[in-house]
């Protein structure tokens, strides 16, 4: 996460709550079991959103906990260099959460291997975080389904963050980010837990499959009609919900995908045209880039079409950037649809 100049674009910071991770990746095409070299990058779903927003000029604040060791200090410095306010990142005992990413190679799919059990964040109690101070003056709290998926302690953390946001009158964005491997590692009830958390949410990032999990039902039809049916069911089930953002991905090969974006409100919706992406460098973090683009425009009061177009643009741009995070300027986002030739 290199440094970047920012300009204030919002009324207050977006507070991103979640675990900061280190990502270790072998060279392209090398399986992890036979790798001799690993590239390191700082990431994590919520940290990716914080860094992307800061680069776009929207103030962001990370609320997390890191171990007091060189790895934790590396992660903190990377976020600070990206323009993120790290004053609410606490230190605690324990280890750094890691994950390993094997990039796709030809017909071989990519794979993620987690090594985060017992990390400083996962073992933290709600009392280890000053939620009220972090949320003071905030425009929004952004969190995801990854935190409760870490175990009962993660569920307690997610509940505490939401309760603090509610007490402070700060709206909540919840990205479903369903991770079957994390939920399956303990005796969990993901649908029930996520249903409770989404019930306190104003903005949901998730598609019809996420909503099907929340409501324990399926949706008929296909394409945009099914997504609208799912959105209407979510709005009916969750009175606090105001906005749903989702991406629509079609995979041709590991390096060629098609992507569209959709935004639903109770009385309005918009789905973009697909953009075909060839020669993908790295798709990890594209959903977080989508979230950042959506939240930026929502804070600015944009309509559904502009929210969807900006979310799609930033997500597509992320596919050309290695690592977890994209640091794009506001000008680069605004110029996205002008083409990809060299700027002079």
Verdict on whether the full-model pTM lies above 0.85: yes
Going by the DSSP 8-state scheme, the letter that residue 69 receives in this structure is: S
For the ranges 24-28, 102-106, 277-281, 307-311, the one whose mean pLDDT is highest: 307-311
Confidence check: pLDDT of 109 > 50? yes
pLDDT of residue 252: 87
Residue 222: active-site member: no
Q: Which two tokens stand for residue 182?
A: 């994390």
- Whether residue 328 is contained in a domain is answered as no
**Largest Cα–Cα separation, the chain:** 56
- 3-class SS at 229? helix
Q: In what order do the strands lie in the sheet with 21-25?
A: 39-43, 21-25, 98-102, 111-115
pLDDT of residue 3: 40
What confidence category does residue 340 fall into, taking pLDDT thresholds of 50, 70 and 90? low
pLDDT tens-digit map of 216-274? 999 987 789 999 999 999 999 999 999 999 999 998 888 889 999 999 999 999 999 99
CA dist 324 to 5, 17, 175, Å?
20, 17, 16
Angle 168-170-175 (CA atoms, 0-180°, nearest 5)?
Answer: 135
d(Cα 111, Cα 105) in Å, to the nearest integer? 11
By C-alpha distance, which of 218, 211, 149 is closest to 180?
A: 149
Q: What is the mean pLDDT of the chain?
A: 92
CATH code for position 44: 3.40.1190.20
The percent of residues above 90 in pLDDT, for the chain, comes to: 83
- Whether residue 164 is contained in a domain is answered as yes
- Whether residue 341 is contained in a domain is answered as no
The residue count for the chain:
344
Sign of the Cα torsion 302, 232, 206, 141 reads positive
Tell me how many domains the chain contains.
Answer: 1
d(Cα 51, Cα 122) in Å, to the nearest integer? 21
Q: Which helix (H) or strand (E) holds 202?
A: none
pLDDT of residue 9: 41
Listed in sequence order, the DSSP H helices in the chain are 45-55, 70-81, 131-135, 146-149, 152-168, 180-183, 190-198, 208-215, 223-237, 286-299, 304-318, 330-334
148-169 b/e (C-beta count within 10 Å ≥ 16 → b): bbbbebbbebbbbbbebbeebe
What confidence category does residue 1 fall into, taking pLDDT thresholds of 50, 70 and 90? low
Confidence check: pLDDT of 344 > 90? no
Cα atoms found within 13 Å of the Cα of residue 264, Cβ hemisphere only:
23
pLDDT tens-digit map of 30-69? 888 888 899 999 999 999 999 999 999 999 999 999 999 9
- Whether residue 230 is contained in a domain is answered as yes
Confidence check: pLDDT of 131 > 50? yes
pLDDT of residue 341: 53
- 3-class SS at 24? strand
pLDDT tens-digit map of 159-188? 999 999 999 999 999 999 999 989 999 999
What confidence category does residue 315 fall into, taking pLDDT thresholds of 50, 70 and 90? very high
Query: One of 85, 210, 264, 288 is an active-site residue; which one?
Result: 288
Q: Which two tokens stand for residue 223?
A: 């394409």
Give bridge partners of residue 274 from the DSSP assignment. Answer: none
**What is the domain extent for residue 184?**
14-321
- Whether residue 294 is contained in a domain is answered as yes
- Whether residue 287 is contained in a domain is answered as yes
CA dist 210 to 58, 217, 283, 304, 339, Å?
28, 10, 20, 20, 33
- Whether residue 72 is contained in a domain is answered as yes
CA dihedral of 303, 210, 111, 276, whole degrees rounded to 10? -40
- Whether residue 3 is contained in a domain is answered as no
d(Cα 171, Cα 89) in Å, to the nearest integer? 21
pLDDT of residue 5: 40
Confidence check: pLDDT of 2 > 90? no
14-36 b/e (C-beta count within 10 Å ≥ 16 → b): bbbbbbbbbbbbbeeebeeeeee
pLDDT of residue 339: 61
Q: Is 301 exposed, middle or buried (0-12, 13-18, 19+ CB in 10 A)?
A: exposed
By C-alpha distance, which of 204, 180, 181, 200 is closest to 191?
A: 180
pLDDT of residue 277: 93
């Amino acid at each position: 996460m290199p440094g970047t100049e920012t300009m204030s674009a919002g009324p207050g910071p977006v507070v991103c709550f979640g675990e900061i991770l280190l990502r270790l990746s072998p060279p392209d095409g090398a399986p992890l079991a036979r790798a001799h070299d690993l590239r390191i990058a700082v990431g994590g779903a919520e940290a990716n959103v914080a860094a992307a927003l800061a680069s776009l000029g929207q103030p962001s604040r990370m609320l997390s906990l890191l171990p007091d060791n060189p790895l934790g200090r590396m992660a903190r410095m990377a976020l600070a260099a990206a323009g993120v306010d790290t004053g609410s990142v606490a230190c605690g005992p324990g280890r750094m959460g890691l994950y390993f990413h094997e990039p796709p190679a030809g017909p071989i799919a990519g794979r993620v291997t987690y090594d985060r059990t017992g990390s400083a964040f996962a073992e933290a109690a709600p009392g280890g975080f000053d939620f009220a101070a972090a949320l003071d003056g905030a425009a929004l709290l952004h969190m995801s389904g990854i935190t409760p998926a870490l175990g009962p302690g993660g569920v307690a953390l997610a509940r505490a963050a939401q309760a603090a946001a509610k007490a402070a009158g700060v709206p909540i964005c919840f990205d479903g980010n369903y991770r079957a491997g994390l939920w399956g590692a303990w005796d969990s009830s993901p649908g029930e837990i996520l249903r409770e958390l989404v019930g306190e949410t104003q903005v949901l990032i998730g598609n019809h499959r996420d909503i099907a999990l929340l409501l324990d039902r399926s949706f008929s039809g296909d394409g945009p009609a099914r997504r609208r049916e799912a959105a209407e069911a979510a709005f009916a089930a969750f009175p606090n919900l105001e906005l749903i953002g989702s991406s629509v991905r079609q995979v041709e090969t590991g390096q060629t995908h098609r992507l569209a974006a959709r935004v639903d409100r109770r009385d309005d919706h918009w789905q973009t045209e697909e953009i075909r992406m060839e020669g993908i460098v790295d798709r990890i973090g594209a959903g977080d880039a989508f979230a950042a683009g959506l939240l930026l425009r929502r804070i600015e009061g944009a309509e559904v079409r502009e929210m969807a177009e900006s979310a799609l643009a930033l997500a597509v741009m992320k596919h050309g950037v290695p690592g977890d995070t994209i640091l794009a300027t506001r000008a680069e986002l605004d110029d996205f649809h002008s083409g990809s030739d060299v700027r002079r």
